A and B are shown apart, each in its own frame.
Chain A
Amino acid sequence: MTDDRITNRFSYDEIARLVAPGSHVLDLGCGSGDLLDLLRRTRGVTGRGVDIQEEMIRACLEKGISVFQGDLDEGLKEYRSQSYDYVILNETLQMIHDPVYLMNEMLRVGKRVIVNFPNFGYVVNRLQLAWLGQMPVNRTLPYEWYDTPNIHFCTRRDFVRLCDSIGAIIEAAVDLRRNRRVAGIFANFAATDCCFVLRKQESRV
């Protein structure tokens, strides 16, 4: 098991718990393939990753993970509908130019979507903005505003509203404060990171 508390990343063990054994997984923004590697070892998944950087492609190949070098902003139009059990977007949503488009694409391609993001509504972010009057820079959001890959921040509540508006049903949610679980009712205040399992609402005929 990896100890995610020493890093800023969302607990891979928590994500792994959300994935049914033996399923077929597409990991968007897969980085060096660590999450897929963990899912393969602990959940027996098959799957592939997508990343935009050559070093990440190389790192995935070194782990024996199949990977496609591509830009998520181009969407998933080449992927068949419902061709994966899970499409995972791990700590990447806030970097996407058109998150709604990508969310809809993920819901089309995956039977389930697992997505996590830093919660802009986390109390420390609120205090930095409200009391110091400056953009939050802290352990979970380590970037200055002018030098950040994060272009679309949202709070947990914003995200739930988005799911509602695009017909995504929330099947499960995991809210973490520095990789320890926090209770759902306080989550928009207390969670540094939120993770949701979604599926597409059956279209009403």
Chain B
Amino acid sequence: MDASRDIVIPKEFEFGSDDDVLVLESGRPFGPITVRYETYGTLDKAASNAVLLLHAFSGDAHAAGYLSGEESRPGWWDSMVGPGKPFDTDRYFVICSNVLGGCRGTTGPGSIDPASGAPYGLSFPVVTIGDMVNVQERLVTRLGIKRLLAVAGGSMGGMQALQWTVSYPARVASAIILATTARPSAQAIAFNAVGRNAIMSDPRWRGGAYYGHEPPARGLAIARMVGHITYLSDASMHAKFGRRLQERDEFGFDFSDQFEVESYLEYKGGTFVDRFDANSYIYLSKAIDYFDLEGKYGSLERAFANAVSKFLVVSYTSDWLYPSYQSKEIVVALMRQEKDVSYTEIDSPFGHDSFLIETERQGRMISSFLQTAQRGEEER
């Protein structure tokens, strides 16, 4: 065991069993809900240094550090979260929770329905990005935090961060919005649809009631492969794989040939099924597809009309899943509403995944932005 490692202890928070049920955006009351979360750093006396991280589609509450001395890799944003890092745990109290509908400790379709004693499966309600944020609001309130110094996230996490500034404007001093959109395009929805179809077409899916049986691993692996393609770019795939073959130099003119990119996708799909629930894939991808601030509020400008947070919006040139123009739409709507917003487009070849990779470049901006936000709070 490596003694130098910061071991993080995940925590759980429960609510919604009695009169504090959560009313979902669909109108359905839902509870009880368990929330898995992790925290890093120390909450100051005034509870004014809290930063809420919002994870992306396949992320979880484990943003930084190690859960045990044996864990091979740290949390998903460990490069950004820690002492002296952009989300500096010497300055900020950083919180990350698993989303509603997920499968990494927070209540989701794989959780046991207390009414039936069996996993929810498809009887789990359809949840939205707004519902996820409402759950996070309960957690933040429970932690004694009236106002967050910042909410921050990329991709689906960016959607939640945007939703926070709209749902709870006075409780968010600043928002860091990376590689996201205020409404996924038809193209983005199409890829999610292929993923859901792959899962639902797997006979092992059994209409979602596969718990206690073999899970629809093949369907989920294919869904993940499709998803993974959308996270990369032409340039990054070319650099990483080119047209190289795995394990041979020439075509064998049979179907045992594999291009390196194929075996990589197989690998990514295969490892994903060990840590992800197929039904959560369906629910979370649907939540993304439903997300539409423009449709919900009539226009983006109207959506942000009551927002009072400072915004930092970052897009990446090679991200074709949520291209820069979609970030610019967010920025323009905020500017036209006279909101305090900064925007940068980082020239990066890593596609949608850039926000997980361009740590150094985005990190310096995020670090400055957070410090400005903190100064602003002190002067408030």
- Minimum CB–CB distance from B288 to chain A (whole Å) comes to 26
Nearest CB on A from B185, distance (A): 20
Q: Within the complex, what minimum Cβ distance (angstroms) separates A177 from chain B? A: 37
- 4 additional A-B pairs beyond A57-B344, A61-B369, beta carbons within 8 Å, are A64-B371, A68-B335, A69-B345, A70-B343
- Contact residues in A for B112 (Cβ distance below 8 Å): none
Q: Which of B342, B361, B371 contacts A66 (CB 8 A)?
A: B342
Cβ contact within 8 Å between B369 and A78: no
**CB < 8 Å neighbour of B361 from A54, A68, A69, A80:** A54
Residue ranges of A at the interface with B (Cβ–Cβ < 8 Å):
48, 54, 57-58, 60-62, 64, 66-70, 78-80, 83
Residues A80 and B336 in contact, CB atoms below 8 Å apart:
yes
Residues of chain B at the chain A interface (Cβ within 8 Å): 310, 312, 331-332, 335-336, 338, 340-347, 361, 364-365, 368-369, 371-372, 375
Are B343 and A64 touching (Cβ within 8 A)? no
CA distance A174 to B231 in the complex (A): 53
Which of A66, A79, A83 gathers the greatest number of chain B CB atoms within 10 Å? A66
What's the minimum C-beta distance from B83 to chain A, rounded to whole angstroms? 20
Residues of B within 8 A of A48 (CB): 335, 342
Question: Can you name 18 A-B residue pairings with CB atoms under 8 Å?
Answer: A48-B335, A54-B361, A57-B344, A58-B344, A58-B364, A58-B365, A58-B368, A61-B342, A61-B369, A64-B375, A66-B341, A67-B344, A69-B345, A70-B343, A78-B332, A79-B335, A80-B336, A83-B338
Instruction: Give A61 to B364 CA distance when docked, in angstroms.
Output: 9
Which of A54, A67, A78, A79 is within 8 Å of B342, CB to CB?
A: A67
Say how far A84's CB is from chain B's closest CB, in angstroms.
Answer: 10
Q: In chain A, what residue has the closest Cβ to B311?
A: A66
CB-CB nearest in chain A for B333: A78
A62 touches B331 (CB 8 A): no
A64-B372, A66-B340 are known contacts. Are A78 and B365 too (CB-CB below 8 A)? no
In the bound complex, residues from chain B placing their C-beta under 8 Å from that of A83 are 338
How far is the CB of B166 from the nearest CB of chain A, in Å? 20
- CB-defined contacts of B346 to chain A, threshold 8 Å: 54
A78 lies within 8 A of B335 (CB) = yes
Cβ of A68: which chain B residues have Cβ within 8 Å of it?
A: 331, 335, 341-343
Task: Kindly list chain B residues whose C-beta atoms are within 8 Å of the C-beta of A80.
Answer: 336
Q: Are B372 and A69 in contact (CB under 8 A)?
A: no
Nearest-CB residue, chain B, relative to A66: B342
Residues of B contacting A66 in the complex (Cβ-Cβ under 8 angstroms): 310, 340-342
Expressed in whole angstroms, the Cα–Cα distance for A57 and B340 within the complex equals: 15
Rounded to whole angstroms, the CA-CA distance of A58 and B347 in the bound complex is: 13
Given A61-B365, A64-B372, A64-B375, also A69-B341 (CB < 8 A): no
In the complex, what distance in Å separates the CA atom of A70 from the CA atom of B332? 11
A48 CA / B368 CA spacing, docked (Å): 16
Q: What is the bound-complex CA distance between A94 and B41, given in angstroms?
A: 50
Q: Which residue, of B338, B344, B345, B347, has the highest number of chain A Cβ atoms within 10 A?
A: B344
CB distance from B87 to the nearest CB of A (A): 15
Of all A-B residue pairs in the complex, the 4 with the closest CB atoms, nearest first, are: A64-B372, A61-B368, A78-B332, A57-B344
Query: Which of chain B's residues have a CB closer than 8 A to the CB of A61?
Result: 312, 342, 365, 368-369, 372
Contact B368 A69 (CB under 8 A): no
A70 to B342, CA, bound (A): 11
Given A54-B347, A54-B361, A60 contacting B342 (CB threshold 8 A): yes
List, in ascending order, chain B residues with CB within 8 A of A64's CB: 368, 371-372, 375
Which A residues lie within 8 Å of B365 (CB)?
Answer: 57-58, 61
Complexed CA–CA distance, A80 and B337 (Å): 10
Question: When chains A and B are docked, how far (Å) is the Cα of A69 from the Cα of B315?
Answer: 10
